[in-house]
Structure 1
Amino acid sequence: MIFLIGDGMGYNQVDAGSLYENGTSFNQVRVDPETGKIEHEPGTASQVYENFPVRLGMATYQHRNGYEPDKAWGDFAWVLKNPPDSAATATAMATGVRTYNGAIGLDPDRLPVRNLTERAQELGKASGVVTSVQFSHATPAAFVAHNESRGNYRQIAREMVWEHELDVLMGAGHPYFDDDGQARDTPDFRYIDEATYEAAVSGATGHTFIEKAGDFADLADAFDPPERVFGLPQVARTLQFHRSGPDRDADGTPVEGAEPYTAPELRTVPSLAEMASGALNVLDNASDRGMFLMVEGGAIDWGGHGNEMGRMIEEQLAFNEAIETVVDWVERESSWQETLVVVTADHETGYLAGPGAGADTGWTPLRGEAGGLPEHSWHTGGHTNSLVPLYAKGPGASRIDHHARHTDPVRGDYLENVKLAESVFDFWGRGDTASP
């Protein structure tokens, strides 16, 4: 079972990447909030997951809120009210329990709730999480750990490394390298404490520790991979997103209208696709009872927060590449009869819409051609309560589809995000031992 989560990835983030890459879009609409008129643009499914048999919307709201389709499409500002964060939404997807913003694997009463990774381990399955941002950040953390605050990075890192026997743990957050992959004069132990880092490097945690780009590439092709791996690329916050370049001013302010890849990509770090490929190789050899893997494209979110179309597209395309790598692995090493792949998001970030969209004009479609920035507009630097896409293929996909018991006038059938975890628990059983 493989979950791929694009942090901050809404329908328009997917289409922005497709417009830049292929000149095509799949989910573009024009909606007039005053009359309720809905016009769907002709679309082309250009991403492999857009052809999955299950294609749904998913609601992402936090504890005590809700999603109301009529309000979401009748008032342009409605989706900006009380938006969720990645900790709450990832916890919902990982545990089936809706909670408060900032919570990692806890219910609203701050009690720990079992997640899919823990259930997989109970069943003897291999397990792992991979991300393009810090490994102790909210989304990967919620699939493993339990903490009252997502900001307790070092506590979360210790728990992830020491307490849960993950077979694979990969993500950024290296204390000895900066955002450009350059060695620091003084280490920054913000995302992992020094003792845990030193233990990981020495092998005391039980993992094989890797950090160089070539090590990740070798892992993907290894005939006899290590049994457990902790991969910490030589970079600080993200694989690529926070690198410096001509699309950023000296103080880090984004240059408006900058094209993707204006800044040369770092060559000292692996891609998310390479990390996913290495993780699959390890997990496939770690257990004969299957696996659970979560792969996060984590910096799509940062592109939305900064309203940086160019770098957001970079991250979307990197996430797409990771998905393609997973699909290729399923078709080469497994099959669609034994592996479920789910592609979705934790929430939408940036309220990305077409040019001229707004309270008076409603929702307009993104426009663009291959190789150029799509015409667009941003409407927040934060998150929204908008529906996000969900795509699924493989055994169990029909169970997810079964939970889509609501209908949105624009996006069609949708499910609550807690139902994603519930559908997996239904498939695996909920007891402490394997189901008969």
Structure 2
Amino acid sequence: MKRNSIKKSIVASALAGVLATSAIIPTVAMAAPKTRIGNNGNKEVKNVILMIADGWSYNQIDATNYFKNGKLGSQVYENFPTKVGMSTYSVSAGGYDSETAWNNANYIKNKPTDSAAAGTAMSTGHKTYDAGIGVDANGKSVRNISEDFEAQGKSTGVITSVEFSHATPAAFVAHNTSRNNYEAIANEMLKDSATDVIMSAGHPDFNDNGDLRTNMNYKYVGGVDTWNGVKNGILPVADANGDGTPDQWNLIETKEAFQALQDGETPDRVLGIAQAATTLQQNRSGDKKAGAFEVPFNDNVPTLAEMTNGALNVLDNNEKGFFLMIEGGAIDWAGHANQSGRNIEEMSDFNTAVEAVNQWVQENSNWGETLLIVTGDHETGYLSGSKGALTPIQKTAAGMMPEMVWNSGDHTNQLVPLFAKGDSANLFKKAADELDSVRGRYIDNIEIAHIIREAINAK
């Protein structure tokens, strides 16, 4: 059973008129649980925030650093105390060999993972086939870490810069044999799950420039009936807080509503669908091969950081704690399209969201009770400093586009970095028992779920 929610009794006046809500009824607050010591010897973690830059690896970080700051190592996560590599392969590739990866330019392009398999590995601790969502290699549903948190009475949320029914957010909530069953996945997330916060792009009424359109696409939000049910507050939904009654979604759509959610009182369950068709910014019109920040942005959608701040303000209603997955999903889209400028834009948006989380922990929590993990699900585009091999990005001055050579339009199985901060972040160092000749010690992606479960003492 999920938590008896610690509800805030008044919705902030800033949200009045922009939240499509059902009535919010306050309940009696429960006493905070006593501090417990987890299996790792550290204080048991209350909150876990997992941030996934879909499609990044070391060169995406370096290219963005050069453009933004003219130097490496300038992101907040690069100064976290725990820094290791991570392998991302699915069951199709069967493994990662360091020597071959650095001596055979085609090796990391062979049978690369997709986001469904990678997301499922991180969420459940099980390797699976490409396209599998929350299922093992035999197609059987397996428990994800969101369900572990919910079993402890904690809140959960997923947010992304692409559609919420896409592979990465879906892997932390849903169970489906194919990532392509978007409508079914969306319905499971909205109707059947106990998730408290879902935020994304993918609005059925708007195009990628934020303009109203006549050709609506309801697939990614569960179909027209589901969407109308959410808007009208009549969708058949789950009991998210464990009080015995269904908990309707409080829908927000406008940029102003997302921004208002960052401060003040909030409802306990929020569905935020920004007014853009597929991505917040990456798929907008204009020269898609232009340099970073040369094409004006959509002005009617929130940033990933604003989504993040709003989600945190909702989830901390629950004194027992929460799990939140934050995805920079369109980094991957820009990598597929070999869009150097837009890749840097999406990386910058993700980096700002990491800064927002880091600040939230410092101001509203502490590093003993909160674990922050920043990583990727896989690399996209085989980004390099030269053609045909994985070489570093060369230094440029701030504001200048670096030379970015894309050697693929697909994913790769190269290692991606993982950064972690919090008292339990040392668990990743302990688990990093494999050695890459260039990146150093690394873990496998299934170990994320195992370590989070150890940190929260999940049974």
TM-score (norm 1): 0.90
1:274 alignment counterpart: 306
1:18 alignment counterpart: 65
| 1:351-390 superposed matches below 5 A | 351-354=382-385, 356-358=386-388, 363-390=391-418
CA distance in 1, matches of 2:458, 2:399: 48
1:235 alignment counterpart: 276
Q: Name the stretch that deviates more: 60-69 or 290-299.
A: 60-69
The AA in structure 2 aligned to 1:200 is V
Unaligned runs of 5+ in 2: 1-47, 236-247
Following superposition, the deviation at residue 366 of structure 1 comes to 2.8
CA distance in 1, matches of 2:332, 2:230: 29
Residues 180-207 of structure 1, C-alpha deviations (whole Å, 9 max, x = no match): 1111113111212111111111223411
Contact 2:60 2:347 in 1 (8 A): yes
| 1:392-403 superposed matches below 5 A | 392-403=420-431
1:169 alignment counterpart: 198
Matched, 1:346 2:370: no
Contact 2:393 2:402 in 1 (8 A): no
Secondary structure at the aligned position of 1:191 is classed as helix
From 254, 268, 272, the equivalent of 1:212 is 254
Contact 1:144 1:160 in 2 (8 A): yes
The AA in structure 1 aligned to 2:350 is F
1:143 and 1:425, CA in 2 relative to 1: closer, same or farther beyond 3 A? same
The AA in structure 2 aligned to 1:202 is N
1:365 and 1:214, CA in 2 relative to 1: closer, same or farther beyond 3 A? closer
1:52 and 1:201, CA in 2 relative to 1: closer, same or farther beyond 3 A? same
CA distance in 2, matches of 1:120, 1:284: 14
Matched, 1:326 2:357: yes
1:187 alignment counterpart: 216
Secondary structure at the aligned position of 2:199 is classed as strand
The AA in structure 2 aligned to 1:47 is Q
Residues 368-408 of structure 1, C-alpha deviations (whole Å, 9 max, x = no match): 22101111211100000100000000132111221111011
Matched, 1:197 2:232: no
From 270, 279, 294, the equivalent of 2:325 is 294
The AA in structure 1 aligned to 2:311 is A
Q: Name the stretch that deviates more: 210-219 or 179-188.
A: 179-188
The AA in structure 2 aligned to 1:302 is W
Secondary structure at the aligned position of 2:383 is classed as coil
CA distance in 2, matches of 1:349, 1:312: 10
Secondary structure at the aligned position of 2:111 is classed as coil
The AA in structure 2 aligned to 1:215 is A
2:265 alignment counterpart: 224
2:334 alignment counterpart: 303
CA distance in 1, matches of 2:207, 2:404: 32
Matched, 1:63 2:91: yes
Matched, 1:115 2:144: yes
Following superposition, the deviation at residue 424 of structure 1 comes to 1.0
Secondary structure at the aligned position of 1:267 is classed as coil
Secondary structure at the aligned position of 1:133 is classed as strand
The AA in structure 1 aligned to 2:440 is G
1:395 and 1:124, CA in 2 relative to 1: closer, same or farther beyond 3 A? farther
Following superposition, the deviation at residue 426 of structure 1 comes to 1.9
Contact 1:7 1:299 in 2 (8 A): yes
Matched, 1:244 2:285: yes
Contact 2:56 2:379 in 1 (8 A): yes
Contact 1:357 1:364 in 2 (8 A): no
Following superposition, the deviation at residue 172 of structure 1 comes to 1.1
Secondary structure at the aligned position of 1:220 is classed as coil
CA distance in 2, matches of 1:235, 1:14: 26
Unaligned runs of 5+ in 1: 26-44, 249-254, 432-436
CA distance in 2, matches of 1:155, 1:317: 32
CA distance in 2, matches of 1:366, 1:302: 23
2:11 alignment counterpart: none
1:297 and 1:364, CA in 2 relative to 1: closer, same or farther beyond 3 A? closer
Q: Name the stretch that deviates more: 418-427 or 206-215.
A: 418-427
Secondary structure at the aligned position of 1:397 is classed as helix
Following superposition, the deviation at residue 165 of structure 1 comes to 1.7
Residues 104-140 of structure 1, C-alpha deviations (whole Å, 9 max, x = no match): 0000110000001111100011110000000100000
CA distance in 2, matches of 1:22, 1:325: 19
CA distance in 1, matches of 2:369, 2:104: 43
CA distance in 1, matches of 2:423, 2:261: 28
CA distance in 1, matches of 2:97, 2:165: 33
Following superposition, the deviation at residue 429 of structure 1 comes to 3.4
From 433, 438, 448, the equivalent of 1:420 is 448
1:31 alignment counterpart: none
Q: What is the aligned length? A: 398
Secondary structure at the aligned position of 2:378 is classed as strand
Secondary structure at the aligned position of 2:141 is classed as coil
The AA in structure 1 aligned to 2:227 is Y
CA distance in 2, matches of 1:188, 1:276: 26
Secondary structure at the aligned position of 1:407 is classed as strand
TM-score (norm 2): 0.85
Secondary structure at the aligned position of 2:376 is classed as strand
From 65, 78, 83, the equivalent of 2:112 is 83
Following superposition, the deviation at residue 156 of structure 1 comes to 0.4
